[in-house]
Amino acid sequence: MLSPSQFTLLIGLSLFMLVKGKNIFTAKLYPEATDNTPSFTTNQEDGYKTEERLELLKIIQEVISESKSDNLLDSLSVNLLQNILDYNSNLERKPSTSKNKGIFPEFEVIERYASNKTNSGIAYSGGGSRAYVCAVGYTSGLLKLGLLKNVKYVGGISGGNWFVNSYSYRNSDLTTEEYVGEILGPEDNTFINLNIMEKGCMRSFVRNPCILDILGSFLNGTTPMNSWVDGIYETYLEPGNIKRHAPFAYDLIEATRIASSNNMDPSDFNIVNDPINDPFPLVGVALVGPVSQAPFQVRSRDMVMLDVSPVATGVSNRQNIDYKSRDDNRGTLTAQVGGFIESTFFGSNFLKNNDDGTAELEEGKYGLWTIEQAAAASSMAPEEFFSLTSNRIADYVGFHAPYFSPNPSTSTSTPSTTDFLVADGGDLENVNLIQMLLRGVENIVLFMDFEIPLAGRNTYNPFTHLPKFSDVEDIPSYFGIPHIPETVEDIFDWLGQDFGRNKVFKSWHYPFVIDKLQKAQAKGKGAVATVELETVDNEWWGVKGGDTVSVTFVYLSKATQFEEDLPENVRTEATTGTSDPTDLTTDGKFKGFPHYPTGAAEITHEQSNLLANFCGWIIEQNEDVFRKALS
């Protein structure tokens, strides 16, 4: 009897033999897939207090220019704090007039394998190679508990996206368990065991000197963008035998369908390795704006999220955006964003739209959007900062993608693409929470593998104080809570990100979320907490208010019980022996553990194994929480 995967393969090959030989190049469009809210343009009144943002920028500039203090808090007046509070309180959008749920391009194909899946999603945050290794460890734990097969979606941004792509499209000879590596309990993390690495295991990929690969490619005459693609592919995708310069699709059925219309061979495609037991992969890339409009105005940055999946790539919420340049000679360019294009053909030059929901391509100009390009774009963190500097820098260093929005009102017109800059999804949202909300996912697990530890209650009380950058990362933005920068370095981080439109939950829920995480952290088994939250309308993203969702926050943090059970010589190297979550090692083999510095790679086998084992242990120690969320 054929297994489901063998049956799928047989159907796919049969279809291919019937249709091979056609010489028509077409891409499937999804123009009306996710028109969640009425169209609006960003120059309309949308709740932003531009004067207050300008005032904040002015004071920040004064602090930087005068260098009065390394600590920005020393320069903040009571009036400014009140302005920030007022500014953030006005980020709440006007109630949406549409109550429709989005219908996303992947819904139909997911149903082929949905019989054993719950309406759940897991999301791995950005954080470079640290986040990648954490994702490997968490996945090992979920596999061990038999929970991964229940999950409908897996999201990844930046470092988390490296994992999602490397895992989902793997073509390895290893078993899945061998590919992610076995979890060792803390007592078994000896130096001997930490140095053992299975050839081809995902944990080993981060040993590659990625930056040297990127530099070497650049010195050989490759553009900065393609040098970054080369480095990411050679480090995170090639070791998993993922094809280079290849089209990609969800499964063999989809690959065959695409190939049949475009004189392609489905065997050339990268496809999801095990759609029955693996979640549907979803990657986030920031769509920054037209290259011609750089440098953009800081006070009116208008990034939207580009969802990348094996089915389609596009923007979930249709709207018209006025992209304003800081260069007066460039003025304002209005562009529509929204809708999806079959992923293999995203970034292609289209000849015309057809009335059957497809678009014709110039023959041979397909496959311009590949897994390695998406993986590289989603981790191009400096791009948002470059886009604020000058047009020349943004154009030369930037990651380019020709873009057009499929529009149902002009379905038979000639598509007009615009050269857009794309960037790290973490410049807009550092974990795929909102992408999950838009898809109606009811149980969401967020793995937040940040460099900044979660401050304990002795230094940060969320009920009485606004969070500083050194207290917690990213979580405040989802509740519209002001996040106070402290240093000049924090200012540059702020310039490179725009989380100001990310409020999707009621503000008063925020301190209770942090409180639960801090209490879990203090128990020594990991900062893991599940909270029932209610959404609020967010017109920019297209989120519908009034939905109740269960969100499990997993915040990377020290776990004293794990540290206490380590072999003594490893414990001495990797820990400080205190329970303070912010008290990390400052030198040695495991500097900063578990918050290794954010980087592209070059993590040793010892470092990688210890961190992956730690994250797998977190899953095991909180088994009841994850079973409730994902079973």
Angle, alpha carbons 320-326-332 (nearest 5°): 30
Tell the burial category of 279 from Cβ atoms under 10 Å away from its Cβ (0-12, 13-18, 19+).
buried
pLDDT along the chain (631 residues), means of 10: 43 42 63 43 32 46 44 41 42 32 84 90 97 99 98 97 98 96 98 96 91 79 86 95 95 92 90 96 95 85 94 92 90 91 85 74 68 93 82 87 74 72 92 96 97 96 92 95 80 77 94 97 98 95 94 98 98 96 95 91 93 99 98 88
- Give the dihedral sign, CA 486/488/490/495: positive
Q: How far apart are CA 35 and CA 317, in angstroms?
A: 6
pLDDT at 78: 40
List Cβ neighbours of 252 (8 Å cut-off, separation of 6 or more): 8, 9, 11, 12, 13, 266, 269, 271
Residue 38: Cβ within 10 Å count: 11
pLDDT at 256: 93
| Joined tokens for residue 287 | 């769509």
Phi, psi (rounded to 5 degrees) for 86: -65, -40
pLDDT at 402: 87
pLDDT tens track for 552-591: 999 999 999 999 999 999 999 999 999 999 999 999 999 9
**526 DSSP 8-state letter:** -
Q: Please, are residues 295 and 394 in contact by the beta-carbon 8 Å criterion?
A: yes
pLDDT at 417: 82
pLDDT at 20: 41
Characterize the bridge pairing of strands 418-424 and 280-290: antiparallel
Q: How far apart are CA 435 and CA 449, in angstroms?
A: 18
Q: How far apart are CA 557 and CA 250, in angstroms?
A: 35
Full-model pTM: 0.85
